[in-house]
Amino acid sequence: MPTVIACFKWVIDEAYIRRGPSGDLDFSSVDYKIGEYDRNAIEEAVRLKEASGAKAIAVTVGMPEAAKGVKDALSRGIDEAYFIADSSFGNLDSSQTALILTEVIRSRIEHYDVILCGEGSSDLYAQQVGPRLAEQLGIPCISFVQKLSLAKDQLVAERRVDEGIEVITAPLPALVTVLPDINVPRIPGVKDTLMAGKKPTAKIIKDDLPPLSEPLVRTISLTSSRMERSCERFGTDAAEIARFVGSLRKKGVIG
């Protein structure tokens, strides 16, 4: 029976972030969610499970509040979860997260065939955790995957690349980072959510891990992006179009 691991991050739901008066970001009333692409990774793990009778495991590193995210993942059809939690894990950088995941997968999960990650997280979208994790585990990494299937001892993946679509195979175990096109994540029913808390979850605390590495990225400040509007209105007749072009020229948008 194959084993599929889906890694996910419990992130701030961007719909709740407000912009303060001076362009600062207001996180005072935010809610959290499983990162968008990570939901695709979870869904793909569950699809592989349903197609091949695999066992689907979810792994996440985060603050203790991410316990709700673990239930969310389990309600989506995941069989069991590893939850690595500490109140200091709110601002880990990608290299630290990847090292923690490597340690836990290596030491706790005896056998696995595929590790699925979202192409990037919903909050930082650094696209680092998947490739770093594959490198540290010494397994192939296949990124930008929009279609995936398992065959005997190998996986077949469709990658969306600039030039078109690339179909490749890779020996197992392998790590795959998925694009949102790979599937449509299911919406868990009430019963799925109520049963999630009854599935096995292994909680791992900071003391169970080797000392944390130093972060490679330092966040100096965060500010909101701003879209300036000049609120000019143009008509569709020739004179108005000329005025429109003139206005774009004046602003230096076109030469």
Contacting residues toward another protein, per CB under 8 A: 31, 33, 67-68, 71-72, 75, 187-194, 196-197
For another protein, the closer CB: 191 or 250: 191
Least distance in Å: CB of 173 to another protein? 31
Least distance in Å: CB of 253 to another protein? 24
For another protein, the closer CB: 143 or 183: 183
Return the SS3 of 4. strand
Least distance in Å: CB of 89 to another protein? 19
CA dihedral 208→96→142→71, nearest 10 degrees, is: 60
Write out the two tokens for 80. Answer: 């069991």
Least distance in Å: CB of 223 to another protein? 22
Q: Supply the DSSP symbol for 76.
A: T
For another protein, the closer CB: 187 or 254: 187
CA 52 to CA 155: how far, in whole Å?
A: 12
For another protein, the closer CB: 34 or 116: 34
